[in-house]
Chains A and B, each alone.
Chain A
Amino acid sequence: MFDDLRVSAFLATRSIQRGGRGRNAMYIIIIALVLTNMIFLPSVIMGAMDVYYVQTVDYISSDVIIKPPEDVRYIDDVETLLATVNRMSGVVRASARYPMAGSIDFEDKTVAMEIDAFDPRDETEVTKFHKHMKYGDFLGSGDRDQIIVGSLVAGAKDDTGEFYASLGGATVGDSVVVRYANGVVREYRIKGIFNTKSYQADYMVFVTKDEMDAVTGSGGARATEVLVKTVSAEDAQPVKKRILEFGVGEDVETWEEALPDVVSESVESFAIINTISVLGSLVIAVVLIFIMTTIKTFNNRKQIGILKAIGLKKSIIINSYVMQVIFICLIGAIVGSLLIGTMVLYFTTYPIEFPDGDVTPLVTWAMIIENTALLFISSAIAGFIPAWRVTNEGILEAIRGG
């Protein structure tokens, strides 16, 4: 058995060394491109998903989000809840959100939207708005007559390209009038404009919780959600469990569970597109290897027949072709991996600009190993079949070469 493999390896090595270097180089390049093709599209999709996930955690839900149960609008006794959660291990900080519907007037523009509120000291530990102030400053604890707005809300003087209604180019220092749904009207100075690149986050405005207390009047502002930042991403599940075990009457979800259904549906669609693309690449590889081996074995028919007449086992001859295929795939996979590495490096320096943020292709070792294994298996089969077919031809037919 080992001796047979040695003979196959000898035949394969010599054939690779001396049989058409240019052609082998071409096969290797095609295999490398096939592997690149198998990995690049999913890596960009994964990169884009990752950007979306990071944005969700950074601005929308944090690691764990607590909401009132269905059909209930507000969280019951949010002060106690915050105090409880803040004491739990694995929790960095919890920040409550106190929104109220309303509209914002600036010059001749009016934007109808929810005005949200938080305690700035809590919020800076939970989300990253404060790190993405494009102009001006983040809210401070005592701020009462100030508001911060997202870049999509502020808008631009030339708003023809904008998809959402905006204030048409409001800048830091401008005064806006906010009309709350409960009838209260306030004038605020724009303290800062944030730009997170997340569509959802950049279409938000915030005042302080103290201000919202005053706007709401008796009883103070009421929270609709509590965002909980955990020490690490892995803490999300355990923290969720701890909160639930504590017996709060609210719904608790990790950021992943809180993703809207449409997101998981698009992930599924991506997976299907990706599978089709991978299958397409594999078909190219299989056809290539099949043709390559068919040509080689067919050209060597007579020689194969004579080797069999001399008494060489069929398996020695078949294996020598399969080994050549594996060698070409191996070098192709190495070249392909280098190519992918170069592309990832390039796009890390110059990310692909998606409207939702800068996307860097995300390549994992699992992706490379999985796709390389798929490529190896299908190529080995594609090489085996023609070699097997020619080798199984009758000795005399092969020698006659008819």
Chain B
Amino acid sequence: MDEYIRAEDLRKLYTMGTVEVRAINGVSFSVRKGEFVGITGSSGSGKSTLLHMLALLDPPTEGTITIADRDVISLSEAEKGIFRLSRFGFIFQDYALVPELTAEENVSLVAMARGEEAGSYSRRSRKLLGQVGLGERVAHLPSELSGGEQQRVAIARALINTPEILFADEPCANLDSTNSRAVLDLFREINQRMNLTVIMVSHEDWHMEYFDRVIRLRDGKIEEDFQPEIPDATASP
């Protein structure tokens, strides 16, 4: 089996005064390329902490992470930045789009930051916005878009640099169920069409039907690692 991401005995220790919090307490697993992985668990179980370590936003206290056979823990901050910019896509609970940029400019900004020529990315970002259903909204400012629409702009932004891994931390937390479904359908589609690896944190049970695989955390440890049953397409309403 080709291991694309490999986490080995990850630990994250927070010390607050005399209190020690073992947010992640010995976690090992590997992810194949193109897998759609859901990280679930109750609040405080360490989901976000684990995602941040995998996404090179926060170094683990102990353990190793390899991505595409590369030890990424030892990279410098600047190298991690370049790694994230060119290989990762990010979607957070907060869309945090740049308020003074239009939908298209928000998406283009990330390609521009990678040093691309203007001609190449503006067509691509319009196309991506079309794919997330915002073809008519490319010139709108974030303040003129609904929460669901803003999150879709954030998704287009995450995809503009054709990432290898998409990290999402509760991307649907601020969305109603219709918008949530739209976002998850989009993830599923991207995952299948682009063979994009998706690692997504969620604590909604019904999201599980979208995942290839679920890693359930409890107190900083893996409680369960399983493939959810694929719901019967004919039986669902």
Contacts and interface: CB of A to CB of B under 8 A. Distances in A.
Nearest to B49: A396
A311 interface: yes
A7 B141 contact: no
B82 interface: yes
A26 interface: no
B29 interface: no
B85 A310 contact: yes
Interface string A300-316: 10110111111111001
Contacts of A200: none
B106 to A, nearest CB: 10
A306 B113 contact: no
Interface stretch (A11-19, A117-125, A248-256): A11-19
Interface in B51-83: 52, 55, 57-58, 78, 81-83
A311 B99 contact: no
Given A306-B90, A311-B113, A395 B57 contact: yes
A306 B81 contact: no
B105 interface: yes
Contacts of A346: none
A306 B86 contact: no
B115 interface: yes
B101 A310 contact: no
Contacts of A3: 112, 115
A310 B97 CA distance: 12
Chain B interface category by residue count: 20 to 34
B194 interface: no
B84 interface: yes
Nearest to B82: A311
A128 B92 CA distance: 82
Contacts of A399: 92, 94, 96
Contacts of B98: 11, 14, 300, 303, 307
Among B78, B82, B97, B98, which residue has the most Cβ atoms of chain A within 10 A?
A: B98
Given A6-B112, A311-B81, A396-B57, A17 B90 contact: no
A52 to B, nearest CB: 53
Given A14-B101, A310-B85, A310-B90, A7 B109 contact: yes
Contacts of A308: 81
Contact of A309 (B84, B86, B97, B101): B84
Contacts of A313: 78, 81, 113
B210 interface: no
Given A310-B84, A312-B85, A312-B113, A19 B100 contact: yes
Contacts of A309: 55, 57, 84, 90, 92
Interface in A369-402: 395-396, 399, 401
A316 B115 CA distance: 12
Interface string B38-57: 00000000000000100101
Interface string A304-331: 0111111111001000000000000000
A10 interface: yes
Interface string A28-66: 000000000000000000000000000000000000000
A303 B99 contact: yes
A4 B113 CA distance: 7
B110 interface: yes
A49 to B, nearest CB: 48
Nearest to A10: B112
A303 B142 CA distance: 12
A306 B90 CA distance: 8
